[in-house]
Structure 1
Amino acid sequence: MEIAHDMNITQLFIGLAGGVTLLIWGLKRVQEGMNRAYGSKLAYLVRDRFAGVWSALGLGATLTLILQSSTAAALLAGSLGVQGEAGLAFLLGADVGTTIVALILSFDLSALSPLLIAVGVGLEFRGRSKRLQGIGQAAMGLGLMLLALATLRSMAEPLQASALFVDIMRSLLAEPWLALLFAAAITFMLHSSLVMVLLLSGLVAAQVIDVPGGLLLILGVNVGSALIPVYMSRGASNAKRVAPLGNLLLRCLGVMAFLPILGWIHNIFNTLQFAGAWQLVVLHCLFNLAVASFGMLIVSKLAGWIDYRLPPQKLTPTPSPKHLDDILDTSPAAAISNVVRDTLTMGDLLEDMLKDVHRNMYKNVEVLAKKINQSDDIIDDFHQQINAYLLELGGQELTKEERDRCQDLLLFTTNIEHAGDIIERSIIMLLKKKNNLHIEFSSQEKEAIEACMQGLFEVMPLSFQVMMSEDAEAAKGLFQAKQAFNVMHQKQLDTLRQRAMDQRVSPLAHSLFTDIMRDIKRLHSHFTAIAYPLLSRQGALHNSRWRGAEDRPPAVELDKKTFSDDPVT
């Protein structure tokens, strides 16, 4: 690609911005593709293959080679609870992995770009498995990265003729600390040290900036890359902040150690006849290897030192069952009463989850999903402890009424736990899909969802009342509320299904709407289920909803003649 030398500075910057954007987009495609192809295996490696800080170091390097981003590897590890000294070792390994990727991509592999893009597109759209499609997506992303690097090299050459750009860079590099801060800030904004290393290598190769200046900027890039996980963990617990802060501290120490000897390193590279761009990549590699080597010597002490000096946090206590006293020291009636109290707390947690979904259904779904995941984990913990307590109580000497009461409470707590799973694993997933596809529900669909949600909120207090009091009249009211809700729910679905057919609305949007309506009905059924065993024991329910079930004659008892060997005449 030839660029006219009379191109103005604005056009050059637009071209460079386009090349950098394409490079970042290609990198993102590689990350998404590898997660799509090997996501569960990568999670298994992080979760189940830790055997100490050295294995964490190796895993960090391995995952970064696969994902081509230390930031992506750090996010994966953080989501699976890697923290403390193991987390610090993981980040050190991830930075080493980035240097290996930079070494490979520093070679001119642009000739492979069309082939990788063609193969990638073919696999992504024609692959028969999720893994093949993910590999295709990653191959296409790698091809786009190579294409972007070729574009950056060609766009950087005309910058030599721009007196304005050369003067700006000379003024910047004349102040070493300002140059370090500038490189760190740009790296932080791009969220990728790999992109910055490759970009600076291209500028040095085009002689837009000199080699000593490029080496100085590489040090700033390494500080900027360490700021990214620090920023992402700013609201996390102290345990999760130790690793990013330790990594940043080690990099700052590394910059202070390398800065005085940068000229000496440059002379050695010149003696070895390294090209200018290659010197930047090799320095990046040496810096990360030196920081990782030193960091692994003090990883445990450094993690402990940082943890000790972090300000203590006022953590909100996680709700947990508080009334499950020792069964051997508690009468059955008192034990059942204690279960009811903790079950009410469990129900309140679920009600809060539903209110969060109701308020934020059309807002920031990602923030909502994180909060719902945390709440569902707490509800799961309640369910496990209460169920274990009730099962242990069931092994004691109980009256028939007490045993029935235990069965009812088991049913109720299990339904609450299932309701939490429906919210987390179905409704939230549907809202994410709706958000990702930029689908908007019509006003009629929103009104239908709102009407069903209000019906859900109306039945919840009645459900808790039946659970506490075992009142037959309240159970009948709960049963009738379910019948009325089902009629209203079906009417809403029929009306909007007919509208979808008449107006030919988007099938995908209508499918998402009906799936959410289905889940709301499932939630309603879980709350009303507590009425059935109570009404059944009082004989207030039919054995079957089939109209002809009660009119059937009793089953005929077969006698021995039925199975005799006599032939049928």
Structure 2
Amino acid sequence: MLTLLDLLSAVALLVWGTHIVRTGILRVYGTALRRLLGQNIARRPLAFVAGILVTAVVQSSNATAMLTTSFVGQGLMSLTPALAIMLGADVGTAVMSRVLTFDLSWLSPLFIFLGVVFFLSRKQTRLGQLGRVGIGLGLIILALQLIVEAATPITQAKGVQVLFGSLTGDILLDALVGALFAMVSYSSLAAVLLTATLAEAGVISLPVAVGLVIGANIGSGLLAFISTNMQNTPGRQVALGSLLYKLVGLLVIIPLLGPLVAWMDNLALDPQSMVIGFHVLYNSVRCLVLLPTTTLMARLCETLLPGRPDTGGRATPRHLDPTALDTPSLALANAVRETLRLGDLIDSLMGAMLNVLRGAQTAVTQEVRTLSDEAEALSSAIKLYLAQMPREDLSHQDSQRWAEIIELAVNLNLASDLIERMLRKVQQQKTSQRRSFSDVGLEELTSLHAQLSSNLRLGLNVFLSRDEASARQLLREKRRFRAQERRFTHAHVSRLQHKVVQSLETSSLHLELIADMKRLNSLFCGSAYAVLGTGDTGALLADEEVLPTQPL
């Protein structure tokens, strides 16, 4: 029992080491890898090679599958090149299984020691994350040694011999067992390496080992398909195509398995080398032969999993990819894109406000209410998405960006609520009380609205670019808005003194709208302080002579 536990723990250590390497690589080079995959690769050979390279780097075909399905789900890549990438991923994981069978035992303590030193001393830097990768590589090599040591005494256990003896070379049964093991261990690589070790120890025959390897490939396809269950239809189509390709490989290899095993028996190679060699050869030949069929497979997947009709709902997040959370820089970039989309909703609400002020729109329409609800939904989605990020692994700069996104999302949500309340005030004034603004008062409000819309767009640009010159310009515009707001307030009071009827009737609403616009302006200009820091007042001081203040 203890021996079996040692074997299971060694497999678990292998899976954990693979996970550490994958997450470490993604955190350091995740943006570059996703850019490599995300490019519109029109040629299938290029997509195929990209799949091999990315899988070799992240040490997991499942990780490549998650990256690819997320790109297709977001509409950044079509289905055909995505399937070519998945075929390349199968070759990449086969090549890595061959590399990991070399005698690299001397590297394990070196990688772990240096990795721990760099990770603990410089955790928030790129070098620290590379140390994390070194720890993972060391654990992988150590786990392979432990698997070999644990499997040796297992070969002497009669129960184990009977268990594996029941596998007589039936390709379907062996493939089923291999698929189950790959799913339990969450790694086809672990399943293949353990199969090679058992074959080397003589626990299983070569035909059984070949069947287990084929099944391990199918198991990885099932894992990818199950993991995309919560994604949209295009992402699931990629995983389905990859699984179908693996099943096609099983059907093709069945009639060829007998002659192939007989030929492999005549080779002067040890069982482990033959198992790993078959894994590399099988995946390489299968993927190269099936590569020209990606267009046909894409059509088949679209037929088997038809896309759901678009309900037109704009509140669903488009860019908050959960698979990017292991790459902080990329996850933050996704949140920035979604926040800019939230800003577009606020800009639409500002347009509705202008229509209401001018009388082109006499009521708060369903579209306005929908925009406000969508803004609140996107703001909540952004906050929940960022809350899932491991803050302890963020660099100082990423932590600042994290806080900036949260702050702007909250400000924009507050702005949407404020705009909707402003529209309801105007609606009540014009419909129930039958009152309207004076021509001069309306001109003042529309002038403030124009400045407000301009500041919103400039604030979003500052948030995106983080340009200090633009941030100072935004603060100057905020200062101008405040000066303009004070002048219009005084002008309105002057009209009251001259007893202008329309101004008297709408005075309360007029002043409330100006005060609300002032609050909106503060919400829109907050991104400038995040870029410059709260202590940078140079932009304000620069306008002291141009825009003198006036007491209210």
Per-residue Cα deviation, 1:485-521 (whole angstroms, up to 9, x for no partner): xxxxxxxxxxxxxxxxxxxxxxxxxxxxxxxxxxxxx
Aligned to 1:115, which of 110, 114, 133? Answer: 110
CA-CA distance at 1:381 after TM superposition: 5.6
Match of 2:96 in 1: 101
Instruction: Give the AA of the match of 2:154.
Output: L
- Please say if 1:212 is aligned against 2:207: yes
Q: 1:381 to 1:77 in 2, by over 3 A?
A: farther
Partners in 2 of 1:232 and 1:377 — Cα distance?
29
Partners in 2 of 1:272 and 1:189 — Cα distance?
32
Query: What is the aligned-residue identity percentage?
Result: 25
Match of 2:358 in 1: 402
Aligned to 1:48, which of 35, 39, 42? Answer: 39
CA-CA distance at 1:233 after TM superposition: 2.4
CA-CA distance at 1:428 after TM superposition: 4.3
Aligned to 1:222, which of 217, 222, 230? Answer: 217
Instruction: Give the AA of the match of 1:20.
Output: V
Match of 2:54 in 1: 63
Aligned to 1:315, which of 309, 312, 318? Answer: 309
Match of 1:14 in 2: 5
- Please say if 1:166 is aligned against 2:161: yes
Instruction: Give the AA of the match of 1:253.
Output: V
Q: 1:384 to 1:231 in 2, by over 3 A?
A: farther
Higher relative contact order (CA 8 A, sep 6+): 2
Partners in 2 of 1:110 and 1:419 — Cα distance?
55
CA-CA distance at 1:309 after TM superposition: 3.8
Instruction: Give the AA of the match of 1:127.
Output: R
CA-CA distance at 1:402 after TM superposition: 2.7
- Name the SS for the 1:315 alignment partner: coil
Flag structure 1 segments of 5+ consecutive residues without an equivalent.
1-9, 321-348, 353-368, 438-452, 475-531, 546-554, 558-569
Q: Is the 8 A contact 2:15 2:186 kept in 1?
A: no
Q: Is the 8 A contact 2:169 2:211 kept in 1?
A: no
- Name the SS for the 1:284 alignment partner: helix
CA-CA distance at 1:194 after TM superposition: 0.7
- Name whichever of 160-169 and 181-190 sits farther off: 181-190
Q: Is the 8 A contact 1:100 1:285 kept in 2?
A: yes
Instruction: Give the AA of the match of 2:278.
Output: L
Match of 2:143 in 1: 148
Match of 1:203 in 2: 198
- Name the SS for the 2:256 alignment partner: helix
Partners in 1 of 2:236 and 2:380 — Cα distance?
30
Aligned to 1:77, which of 51, 68, 71? Answer: 68
Aligned to 1:254, which of 234, 246, 249? Answer: 249
- Please say if 1:276 is aligned against 2:271: yes
Q: 1:235 to 1:129 in 2, by over 3 A?
A: closer
- Count of residues paired in the alignment: 408
Partners in 1 of 2:128 and 2:341 — Cα distance?
36
1:543-562 counterparts in 2 under 5 A? Answer: none
Q: Is the 8 A contact 1:376 1:424 kept in 2?
A: no
Q: 1:33 to 1:162 in 2, by over 3 A?
A: same
Per-residue Cα deviation, 1:447-468 (whole angstroms, up to 9, x for no partner): xxxxxx9xx9999878634223
Flag structure 2 segments of 5+ consecutive residues without an equivalent.
318-331, 395-409, 431-483, 493-509, 520-543, 547-552
Partners in 1 of 2:244 and 2:347 — Cα distance?
42
Per-residue Cα deviation, 1:206-249 (whole angstroms, up to 9, x for no partner): 22222222112111111111112221223444433332222222
CA-CA distance at 1:253 after TM superposition: 1.9
Partners in 2 of 1:421 and 1:220 — Cα distance?
42
Partners in 1 of 2:78 and 2:159 — Cα distance?
47
Q: 1:417 to 1:544 in 2, by over 3 A?
A: closer
Instruction: Give the AA of the match of 1:41.
Output: A
- What is the Cα-based RMSD across aligned positions, in Å? 4.6
Partners in 1 of 2:310 and 2:3 — Cα distance?
53
Instruction: Give the AA of the match of 1:254.
Output: G
TM-score, normalised to structure 1's length?
Answer: 0.62
Q: Is the 8 A contact 1:156 1:208 kept in 2?
A: no
Partners in 2 of 1:97 and 1:375 — Cα distance?
33
Match of 1:468 in 2: 424
- Please say if 1:429 is aligned against 2:386: yes
Match of 1:239 in 2: 234
Instruction: Give the AA of the match of 1:69.
Output: S
- Name whichever of 61-70 and 35-44 sits farther off: 35-44
